[in-house]
């Protein structure tokens, strides 16, 4: 799985979506019903494999429905790629899924449940377990999480995000690991209709 290519495709998808919505909202009387935001941040991941840790870059986008007053359902897509792999394993993932946000003024707490694919590369010649030496593995990833965006301006917010993940791997006795990822970053919200005002 080529994660660099996947992150590039994510950026292209976001740009195409931005252009599409810009044209859709060009009428003066139009009211913005969907909101596109993009985020990027640094992620610290406890890999749950022999005490390993990764330092990652995480980037993604959210398409949020603005119809509802008390909460905002959204669809999220994100990718995580390690920039410092440590010495045990390198974990990469591409995830998507539903997200629910509950805005309170400038505070935007949320919960999500993301599903996707992950790749584990075992470093320093592989990871030995039993009679086998593991070099890499691919798996389904389940990633429930919570987070908080704090709006600094109409467009810009800071982000704190936590994901508790489930990865399958034959390199451990239990057959699975539960990495934990903490991301600190920034979110930019695109405004396709300045006439529409929503709570920060």
Question: What percent of the chain stands above pLDDT 90?
Answer: 75
pTM: 0.80
Q: pLDDT band at 26, cuts 50/70/90?
A: very low
CA–CA distances in Å: residue 72 to residues 38, 64, 100, 103, 136: 16, 6, 6, 8, 38
Give the Cα separation of 137 and 140 in Å (integer): 10
Whether 195 and 163 have beta carbons less than 8 Å apart is answered as no
- For 29-61, write each residue's pLDDT tens digit: 446 789 999 999 999 999 999 999 999 999 999
CA angle 62, 14, 3 (to 5 degrees): 90
3-state DSSP call for residue 15?
A: helix
CA–CA distance, 48 with 144 (Å, rounded to integer): 16
The DSSP letter of residue 104 is B
Whole-number Å distance between alpha carbons of 152 and 122? 40
Instruction: Tokens 């909101």: give the residue.
Output: 35
**Residue ranges covered by each domain of the chain:** 3-18+41-190
Q: State pLDDT tens for residues 137-160.
A: 999 999 999 999 999 999 999 999
Q: Which two tokens stand for residue 87?
A: 């010495």
Kindly state the tokens that stand for 160: 């704190």
- Quick one: tokens of 11? 């950026």
Residue pLDDT, tens place only, 93-128:
999 999 999 999 999 999 999 999 999 999 999 999
Q: Tell me which fold the domain 3-18+41-190 belongs to.
A: Porin (2.40.160)
3-state helix, strand, coil in the chain (%, to 5): 10, 60, 30
């Amino acid at each position: 799985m080529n994660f660099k290519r996947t992150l590039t495709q994510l950026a292209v998808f976001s740009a195409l979506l931005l252009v599409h919505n810009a044209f859709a909202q060009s009428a003066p009387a139009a009211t913005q019903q969907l909101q596109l935001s993009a985020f990027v941040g640094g992620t610290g991941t406890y890999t749950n494999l022999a005490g390993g840790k990764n330092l990652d870059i995480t980037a993604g986008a959210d398409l949020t429905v603005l119809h509802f007053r008390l909460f905002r359902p959204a669809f999220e897509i994100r990718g995580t790629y390690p920039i410092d792999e440590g010495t045990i394993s390198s974990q990469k993932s591409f995830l998507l899924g539903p997200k629910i946000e509950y805005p309170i003024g400038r505070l935007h707490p949320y919960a999500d449940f993301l599903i996707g694919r992950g790749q584990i590369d075992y470093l320093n010649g592989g990871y030995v377990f039993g009679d086998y030496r593991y070099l890499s593995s691919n798996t389904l990833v389940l990633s429930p999480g919570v987070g908080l965006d704090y709006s600094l301006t109409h467009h810009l917010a800071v982000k704190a995000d936590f994901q508790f993940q489930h990865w399958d791997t034959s390199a451990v006795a239990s057959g699975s690991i539960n990495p934990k990822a903490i991301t600190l970053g920034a979110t930019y919200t695109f405004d396709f209709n300045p006439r529409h005002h929503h709570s920060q």
